[in-house]
Structure 1
């Protein structure tokens, strides 16, 4: 099973990498593949270096490959001060982390008070980490509750969280999933309903975490839908992984050089999160990312 944030948040397991030879190797290697030519990448240190239990050493490993930015999942299982100090020493930026996961669901009003409390606490962590974005998740389907009603509940919850985010200068990024492969039974998937939710919330501090892997599985036409998201000014952050496998670019069917070119044409200057599991070594995965961005 491909490791993902759901299994991580529920079990906290550390999954070993499985070597494979399915990737096309770059023609030539570079010393610091994290120092890419066109796109700024933030490596996900939950899915990379999974054998290493010490998150501070994962930060060291990211810096050694030339990455100057990372993304995280929950903050609760980490030494906040040690992470902040290590990032400062290494010159690494934390771009975003998960402030509200799959359970309890934001799509259930009974959880909204807890959501508000978690957003307040998350904002304090974000300021300590000099981080400007926090990921929030809508939640899994609720029995006998129509999807439209669940989405209305998500809107209501985000409207309660938005003023807190605004007070702290933090942007909440709502992530739709895919229900075909990774998150069966999740209530939010695809760009159209997510755009509708964020439009209804109507806050510049609530945007979309546009995960290209999830969007590809759900609806395809990555560049076309990206243009719609940017035209609506609702894209806050981008993530990627190839499909099938949720590994680095070049291991599946998505032609990422073309998609990354589209992001540049859309004048996206933010980071792209590497929320993917390296198929082999992290160094080889970083070389593949560098190759995908070398155009």
Structure 2
């Protein structure tokens, strides 16, 4: 096996340091660098030393693709939650992204179901908040990527699958709002991965992946990721792709080796 399996031959990968490694922010970056990954992604940012992390990334010639600016809860999708508070948090997240080399994206999670509100009402509230944040995003040149979930791993959530995600993007109608197209969630929600990538390519701001159903690395489940990666590159989807998956058995090197082999086959 190659010494640096994170240097995949055809599809650059941003490894999710929260799921793959342990330790503080810098320690996780060092572990990603030791496997050869060119980029990372992360979840929360307020609990991390971003300046130290940025220095570690630059030392290794690495970038950060994205982090979570707004996570789970019942605020963004509630009509009564002040959109000014959402905009303020997005503005702070844009400033945080400026510290990390290459970071131009931030994930927003649409929220958990709210008793008494319909899906349409919750989605309308999400659209209202995203629209309010557009001037900040445009001024700071950062993109929100909204992430649809799946009902098996995230029951009682308000946003599943491609159709509703695309509808939200169309309603906001801005190049600064696209989808975090997590292939794991899409497989669990609706399948038909390649066709849906082709149909909705213009609304995809970022691609994440994990094999299904275990959410481990490619090569451990039911998805033919070699073919998916190949078609995704042909569609010129944004790179790197995010490895938001759990290494099987906790073995990060073995997971990186499986990922390398999967991507190697994608070039054949």
Query: If each structure's helix is expressed as a fraction of its own residues, which one has the higher value?
Result: 2
Give a deviation string over 1:110-137, Cα, whole Å, max 9, x none: 3322211110000000111131000001
Paired position in structure 2 for 1:204? 175
Of 35, 41, 57, which residue of structure 2 is paired with 1:71? 41
Aligned partners of 1:73 and 1:116: how far apart in 2? 19
Paired position in structure 2 for 1:273? 242
Asked if the contact 2:74–2:113 (Cα under 8 Å) also holds between the matched residues in 1, the reply is no
Q: Counterparts in 2 of 1:44-123, with a 5 A limit?
A: 44-49=16-21, 52-111=22-81, 112-123=83-94
Of 229, 232, 237, which residue of structure 2 is paired with 1:263? 232
Q: Judging changes above 3 Å, is the alpha-carbon distance between structure 1 residues 122 and 269 closer, same or farther for their aligned structure 2 residues?
A: closer
Of 110, 115, 118, which residue of structure 2 is paired with 1:146? 118
Aligned partners of 1:92 and 1:104: how far apart in 2? 35
How much does 1:104 deviate?
4.2
Secondary structure of 2:228's match?
helix
Aligned partners of 1:53 and 1:85: how far apart in 2? 17
Q: Judging changes above 3 Å, is the alpha-carbon distance between structure 1 residues 106 and 201 closer, same or farther for their aligned structure 2 residues?
A: same
Aligned partners of 2:205 and 2:238: how far apart in 1? 11
Paired position in structure 2 for 1:248? 217
How much does 1:166 deviate?
1.0
Paired position in structure 2 for 1:184? 155
Where in structure 1 are there 5+ consecutive unaligned residues?
Answer: 1-28
Of 139, 143, 156, which residue of structure 2 is paired with 1:171? 143
Secondary structure of 1:267's match?
coil
Aligned partners of 2:79 and 2:45: how far apart in 1? 24
TM-score (norm 1): 0.87
Secondary structure of 1:42's match?
strand
Aligned partners of 2:37 and 2:261: how far apart in 1? 15
Where in structure 2 are there 5+ consecutive unaligned residues?
Answer: none
Aligned partners of 2:262 and 2:138: how far apart in 1? 36
Aligned partners of 2:216 and 2:157: how far apart in 1? 22
Structure 1 outlier segments of 4+, above 4 Å: none
TM-score (norm 2): 0.95
Paired position in structure 2 for 1:161? 133
Asked if the contact 1:213–1:246 (Cα under 8 Å) also holds between the matched residues in 2, the reply is yes
Asked if the contact 1:162–1:172 (Cα under 8 Å) also holds between the matched residues in 2, the reply is no
Aligned partners of 1:193 and 1:64: how far apart in 2? 39
Aligned partners of 2:157 and 2:75: how far apart in 1? 10
Aligned partners of 2:208 and 2:50: how far apart in 1? 24
